[in-house]
Amino acid sequence: MGGVADANFTLVQLRYFVTAAELGSMTAASRELMVAQSAISAAIAQVERELGVQLLIRHHARGLSLTRAGERFLVEAREFLAHAAALAQSARGLAGSLTGELAVGCLTTLAPFYLSRLLRDFAGRYPGVRVSVAEGELSAMEAALLDGRCEVALVYAIDLALDLDIRPLTQARPYALLPLGHRLAEAEAVSLADLATEPMILLDLPRSRDYFRAIYPTEPRVRFRTSSYETARSLVAGGHGYSILNQRADSDQTYDGGRVACVPISDDVPALDVVLASVRGVRPTARAVAFAETCQAFFSGRRPGQASGG
């Protein structure tokens, strides 16, 4: 890949390569781009000749797979095409009416609370931008950013990869979730010692579980584990234990009709930082900058941890 600087290929050829690589098929790329399959194959072959390296392995009747060099080049090509589109956008002087596509990631436990309204605010400002969303746990969001499938992602700042830059947006302080009839449900605050002997419902997600367990002075008595925020609320409402969460729903009613109480924790426990993450050293597109500014404006009008739906 040392000859990339002198390579002679076009944006169209790069777009053909990226589409074929992502779809894993020349035939599928032909349908997607509405271009003859032979033209796509010839364009990719030209790119490979210019680079002096094989990018794709053609399997008879089984589509395409990327070589190691192809995997690296795919990430670079996506980034290059995104910057080319941003350059064209800037040259047209259309900063106030952006167009094109923006891929956004969102942590599963944040999406129900913020994603819909963030997308609504962004669409109101930039109706010409088509946003696609990838949702998942923290490691999946990191991978989506680092391999170029997402340009920005809304996540918690829990041991994030060093290759990522973050823009702080808000903080989410932990609180105790108790059944409505619990002896401490109406208390102004509870300490972790108050709950030490009671069964806990643990929101059991990678890294999040480590955060929740790290705030305890002793090992909590975990009765049930769940990866679902709403399942944790339902189990608490049913009297199976208490939970520690960070995001607060507007309603104290659970899906199954139970009721819960949110009580502040009196201990000095760390809040979780909600951030917008992107890849360090990569120049953001104008669309990503606009989305970041929309996020900043959205969260600046909210109290820390306030949500409509951890």
- Each domain of the chain, given as residue ranges in start order, spans 11-77, 99-171+273-301, 174-270
Q: Do domains 99-171+273-301 and 174-270 have the same CATH topology?
A: yes
Tell me the pTM: 0.67
Fold of 11-77: Arc Repressor Mutant, subunit A (1.10.10)
Superfamily of domain 174-270: Periplasmic binding protein-like II (3.40.190.10)
* pLDDT category of residue 61 using cuts at 50, 70 and 90: low
At residue 5, does pLDDT exceed 60?
no
Fold of 99-171+273-301: D-Maltodextrin-Binding Protein; domain 2 (3.40.190)
Give the CA distances from residue 143 to residues 115, 210, 249, in Å, rounded to whole numbers and listed in that order: 20, 20, 29
CB atoms within 10 A of CB 7: 13
At residue 302, does pLDDT exceed 70?
no
User: Tens of pLDDT along 194-217?
Assistant: 998 899 999 888 877 788 878 887
Residue 294 has a pLDDT of: 95
User: Tens of pLDDT along 79-129?
Assistant: 888 888 777 766 655 444 578 889 999 999 999 999 999 999 999 999 989
Quick check: helix, strand or coil at residue 36?
A: coil
Q: Distance between CA atoms of 149 and 145, rounded to whole angstroms?
A: 6
CB distance 131 to 122 below 8 Å: yes
Residues of the chain with pLDDT > 70, as a percent, come to 92
At residue 133, does pLDDT exceed 90?
yes
Residue 10 has a pLDDT of: 87
Residue 85 has a pLDDT of: 75
Q: What is the average pLDDT score of the chain?
A: 87
Residue 146 backbone dihedrals phi, psi, to 5 degrees: -70, -25
